[in-house]
Amino acid sequence: MTKVVVVGGGWSGFGAAIAAAKAGAEVTLLERSDMLLGTGLVGGIFRNNGRFTAAEESIAMGGNEPFELMDVMAKHKNIRFPGHEHASLYDVLNIEPEARKLLRKMGVQILFQTRAADVKMAGKKIESVVTDDKDEINGDVFVDCTGTAGVPGYCIKYGYGCAMCILRCHTFKQRVSLAEKAGVKEWIGKKADGTYGAISGACKLVKDSLSPSIQKELNTKGVVVVPLPEELIKQDKLKKKACVQYALKEFAENIVLLDSGPAKLMTPFFPLEELRKVPGFEHARYEDPLSGGIGNSIRFMAMAPKDNKLKVQGVDNLFCGGEKAGPHVGHTEAAVTGLLAGHNATRYAVGMEGIEIPATTAIGDFISYVNKETQTEEGQKQRYTFSGGVYFERMKKLGLYSTNIAEIKERVKKAGVAGVFAKKLR
């Protein structure tokens, strides 16, 4: 049986493992920490704006599992907050056990606390990954879903120090890029001012540390917007965020909270002393990152050159998904690229040509557009998401944004990729 090794258990690795398993491969997933979903344990936002379209396209293509899981675990559906319509929020505290249960049900072998520290090559092919324990894990094809966040040295050099985030680098060791170990020259994203990386866009507050009235509104409506006193408004924060879809003035002029289990604070950081001056936040306490009053994790530090089939350039049997495949922002973006990477990895291993999702779909256009734009210096300064910024504007201009499920299904059918991820390969 064809053996696919996926490295990294975030939403892209989750998608890649599912797609490879559905295509008929024997799948091993390596995760350096003790939990799946990575930064998906902090986020929880999906189906907002163009992400609704992308989710329904993926479902129509046969990549339904990530979005069905998010839907089942949703605490709130069809909510509105500044700049965003019909959003859903999944429960970040309870989704991870269900994710690992689903993967195991599909036959995926998950190796937790297993870091791929190096690779063994045979020419331009990876033969195996070598773990910290010097074990060799062989495969026919590999998928790099190791992400781009951290390591602590980058957070210190390009951010405000290690903010002790959900990545827990000090506990489980820093991220290692499979592509880099295979000799691929990766590239680093830049902010508009030319400095490297971008700061993760949100924090988690302990909900019980907020006033009863805020807790009640958050639990009931899923969103709370609290105006900030003039002296606490800092517009410059918006330029540093990875999440361009939330880099709107409303997020600088207000405290925007979303209920994803904890209270999701929609800002990259907020000094605790200042936060506690706002009525209702007098006892506020950070849950993630623990130093969210000072800073947050740094992302987009290690992206691999790849084609529109998500095959990494320079290595014959390596594919990539999520942020590794470009400055993509969000769980939806990670899942859909992971699905394609896992599917095409399996096609490669069985001797079939990989597929390129047609640009007549939002997912196909997203992958090809980001790939083209990031060949330029200006494009490397952008962040790309279905839910806002430059790509959502493109979606609307091209008529790709839709919330009509029947219309989305028909689009996928006309593109010739209906159910493609659900088919077992020969």
High-pLDDT (> 90) share of the chain, %:
90
What pLDDT does 3 receive?
A: 98
Give me the mean pLDDT over the 160-184 stretch.
96
CB contact at 8 A, 102 and 47? no
Q: Is the pLDDT of residue 331 over 70?
A: yes
Q: Is the pLDDT of residue 371 over 70?
A: yes
pLDDT tens digits, one per residue of 64-92: 999 999 999 999 999 999 999 999 999 99
CA distance 12 to 2: 20
pLDDT tens digits, one per residue of 188-205: 998 888 889 999 989 999
Taking Cα atoms as reference points, which of 242, 6, 286, 231 lies closest to residue 141?
Answer: 6
Residue 341 CB neighbours (<10 A):
34
List the single range of 36-45, 141-150, 226-235, 378-387 with lowest mean pLDDT.
226-235
How many residues are given for the chain?
A: 426
CA distance 33 to 115: 8
What pLDDT does 129 receive?
A: 98
CB contact at 8 A, 339 and 145? no
Burial (CB count <10 Å: 0-12, 13-18, 19+), residue 231: exposed
Taking Cα atoms as reference points, which of 379, 199, 161, 388 lies closest to residue 300?
Answer: 199
What pLDDT does 141 receive?
A: 98
What pLDDT does 238 receive?
A: 47
Q: Is the pLDDT of residue 117 over 80?
A: yes
Q: Is the pLDDT of residue 7 over 80?
A: yes
Structure-token pair, residue 246: 């939330």
What pLDDT does 68 receive?
A: 98
Count CA atoms within 13 Å of residue 2 on its CB side: 24
What pLDDT does 308 receive?
A: 98
Give me the mean pLDDT over the 185-189 stretch.
96
CA distance 178 to 159: 24
CA distances from 55 to 14, 15, 97, 122, 231 (A): 15, 12, 22, 38, 40
Residue 203 CB neighbours (<10 A):
27
Phi and psi at 145, nearest 5°, equal: -125, 40
What pLDDT does 275 receive?
A: 96
CA distance 117 to 130: 6
Write down the pTM of the prediction: 0.96
Q: Which domains does the chain have, with CATH numbers?
A: 3-193+299-422 (3.50.50.60), 198-288 (no CATH)
Q: Is the pLDDT of residue 184 over 60?
A: yes
Amino acid of residue 134: K
Give me the mean pLDDT over the 179-184 stretch.
98
pLDDT tens digits, one per residue of 193-251: 888 999 998 999 999 999 999 999 999 999 999 999 887 776 565 455 455 555 567 88
pLDDT tens digits, one per residue of 271-321: 999 999 999 999 999 999 999 999 999 999 999 999 999 999 999 999 999
CA distance 334 to 332: 5
What pLDDT does 249 receive?
A: 77
Phi and psi at 234, nearest 5°, equal: -135, 95
